[in-house]
Structure 1
């Protein structure tokens, strides 16, 4: 078994890359969970039970991080010493800032007009944008262009927030 302090990738014996085989991750997670699940240690001493619980928690955290592309990208950047500072680093390209404002205005206008079909169209547009940006992000990360990847992650975080806002508006209008 790996060390509890190994990277998430090492824990699952996967390459530390953004491009990840989801089936391989799932299988690796199941293998680790089968080895460390607390139920396997029900008859063990308290120390062994505690260690098993720590390993199970560690495996769950690693799996949740690697399964989510944005969390995986953020984690990969942190392995390379790049902290996003997403809460205090809001500097972005002016073209993206303009795009942000346009998306926000469209959400407000469609919500104000109670136009669910416009919100759904915007949702699809944002998902397409997100897919395109994730492909570019993967290429940046896997080729070691970390600063540009960090900028791409911050932009994707914003896009995900707008998608969540669109979903919330749709939910509100449909109920």
Structure 2
């Protein structure tokens, strides 16, 4: 994968001003739009199209906090493979399992109030994990070794965020099902 920060010309940080990054994406997209290259030679059109695809993918990565964190981890030289994915704390995993059981019960009972409360609880925890992740990834460490340690410390927060996202995706699906079931 290309460096999405370099592609969009922004500082490699977790705490980005997403409005400014979006503006940069729009500027580059306008510059690289295929209509601007309609009369250009085929090689130039292909080059502009390839660059436009890179710019769009970079924007998709940077606007998503999990993918942005993964890009920063990769820039720090840490490879995230499925078998070496960041592991969550066993106590955290037990909490998630209990929350999922409760979510299943809420869906079965069609309890919209409890569903909203569960979603709010998990969103609050997600925000806390995002804050911790951002603080570690943007700390810079005192030196390269310190920065690498901060990246390693950030990995469990990244794992937690993935669980929170899956949980909230399930909440959205249940909300959709409940809405579709309305008379």
- Same topology, TM > 0.5: yes
Query: What is the CA distance between 1:157 and its match in structure 2?
Result: 0.5
Structure 2, unaligned stretches of length 5 or more? 140-146
**1:34 paired residue number:** 30
Q: Which runs of 4+ in 1 moved over 6 A?
A: none
**1:7 paired residue number:** 3
Structure 1, unaligned stretches of length 5 or more? none
Distance 2:83 2:111 in 1: 32
Asked if the contact 1:18/1:138 (under 8 Å) is kept, the reply is yes
**1:25 paired residue number:** 21
State which of 153, 159, 168 in structure 2 corresponds to 1:148: 153
Distance 2:109 2:156 in 1: 34
State which of 13, 16, 32 in structure 1 corresponds to 2:12: 16
Query: What is the CA distance between 1:31 and its match in structure 2?
Result: 1.9
1:173 aligns with 2:169: no
Query: What is the CA distance between 1:146 and its match in structure 2?
Result: 0.8
The TM-score normalised by the length of structure 1 is 0.90
CA RMSD of aligned residues (A): 1.8
1:67 aligns with 2:63: yes
**1:111 paired residue number:** 107
Residues 6, 120 of structure 1: CA spacing in aligned structure 2 closer, same or farther, 3 A cutoff? closer
State which of 139, 145, 162 in structure 2 corresponds to 1:157: 162
Residues 124, 99 of structure 1: CA spacing in aligned structure 2 closer, same or farther, 3 A cutoff? same
Question: After the TM superposition, which of the residue ranges 78-87 and 144-153 deviates more from structure 2?
Answer: 78-87
